[in-house]
Amino acid sequence: MEGTIDTWVKKHRLIYTGATRHPFILAIRDGTLDFSSFKRWLGQDYIFVRAFVAFVASVLLKARKELEENSDMDVILRGLASLNDEIEWFKKEASKWEVQLSSIVPLKANEDYCRFLEGLVSPEVEYPVAITAFWAIEAVYQESFAHCLEEGSNTPAELKEACQRWGNDGFGLYCHSLQKIANRHLEKASAGVLAKAEVVLLQVLEHEFEFWNMSSLGT
Ligand code: HMH
Which residue has a Cα nearest atom 2 of ligand 1?
137
DSSP 40: H
Cα separation, 117 vs 66, in Å, equals: 21
Q: Which of 114, 140, 168 to mutate to test the pocket of ligand 1 (most atoms within 8 A of CB)?
A: 140
pLDDT tier at 2 (50, 70, 90 boundaries)? confident
**pLDDT over 80 (residue 22):** yes
163 alpha carbon – ligand 1 mean position (Å): 12
**pLDDT over 80 (residue 36):** yes
**Which pLDDT tens digit goes with each residue over 170-209?**
999 999 999 999 999 999 999 999 999 999 999 999 999 9
Residue 69 has what pLDDT? 63
Task: Kindly compute the dihedral angle of the four CA atoms of residues 5, 8, 14, 19, in this order, to the nearest 10 degrees.
Answer: -40
Determine the atom of ligand 1 nearest the C-alpha atom of 45: 4
Determine the atom of ligand 1 nearest the C-alpha atom of 86: 6
**pLDDT over 80 (residue 40):** yes
For the chain, what is the mean pLDDT? 96
196 alpha carbon – ligand 1 mean position (Å): 21
CB 120 within 8 A of CB 130: yes
Residue 15 has what pLDDT? 98
Q: Which of 143, 166, 168, 214 to mutate to test the pocket of ligand 1 (most atoms within 8 A of CB)?
A: 166
211 lines ligand 1 (CB under 6 A): yes
Burial class (CB in 10 A: 0-12, 13-18, 19+), 196: middle
Determine the atom of ligand 1 nearest the C-alpha atom of 166: 10
**Which pLDDT tens digit goes with each residue over 124-146?**
999 999 999 999 999 999 999 99
Q: How far from chain centre, in Å, is Cα 75? A: 15
Residue 198 has what pLDDT? 98
**pLDDT over 70 (residue 91):** yes
pLDDT tier at 218 (50, 70, 90 boundaries)? confident
Does the annotation mark 208 as catalytic?
yes
137 lines ligand 1 (CB under 6 A): yes
Cα separation, 52 vs 35, in Å, equals: 25
pLDDT tier at 65 (50, 70, 90 boundaries)? confident
45 lines ligand 1 (CB under 6 A): yes
CB 46 within 8 A of CB 104: yes
What is the share, in percent, of the chain residues with pLDDT greater than 90?
94
